[in-house]
Structure 1
Amino acid sequence: MEPNYTEAERYYEAQKKVKEIRGFYGHLTVYLLCNPIVIVVNLMTSPGYLWFIWCLLGWGVGLISHGLKAFEFSPFFNKEWEERKIREILEKENKPTWK
């Protein structure tokens, strides 16, 4: 069952979504601008050990998870999961507790 949103709520949700996507693109831009610098520093200081790969991989994992969340492509904690969890918590709170 889809919730009934007012126009203001729909606008607010769309605004939040755009902000999330803009944040991802900002993150991607910083990743693309900083990593060439990291590569150059690595190659100039210690070309025998390519440690920049670890930086790219670690930051890349964070970037990918940010993108998955921003574009709502999360296979585990998506909107349906959130709605189920909210209903579960509300049901627990409504049940009387006997002592």
Structure 2
Amino acid sequence: MNRFIKPNQSIKISHIITAMIILLFIVVTTIPVDSKGLEGYERSTIVVSEGDTLWSIAADLHEELNTNKETVINWIKGQNELEETVIITGQSLTVPIKKGEN
């Protein structure tokens, strides 16, 4: 029995290594930047004004919440069961706020 890797086996091993690198990249890039999340904050309801976007709402909130805009957007999407980032003037949204600022 030959203990060395045959040429066609080396291709398979390189595919496995490549797949593992891609998988590692996907896992690392999908981990939230802010690991503490927004569990410790209260909820408030706002009404979307003309010109508001999830990005602009998150921009107003992220520094006060000591997190990044993406975390705030993902929290708002999750709490409001939004599949997309499109919001409509007059729509009510639940947003995170610091405790005691309600």
Shorter chain as denominator, the TM-score bin is: 0.3 to 0.5
Q: TM-score, normalised to structure 2's length?
A: 0.33
Greater fraction strand: 2
Q: Which has the higher contact order (CA 8 A, sep 6+)?
A: 2
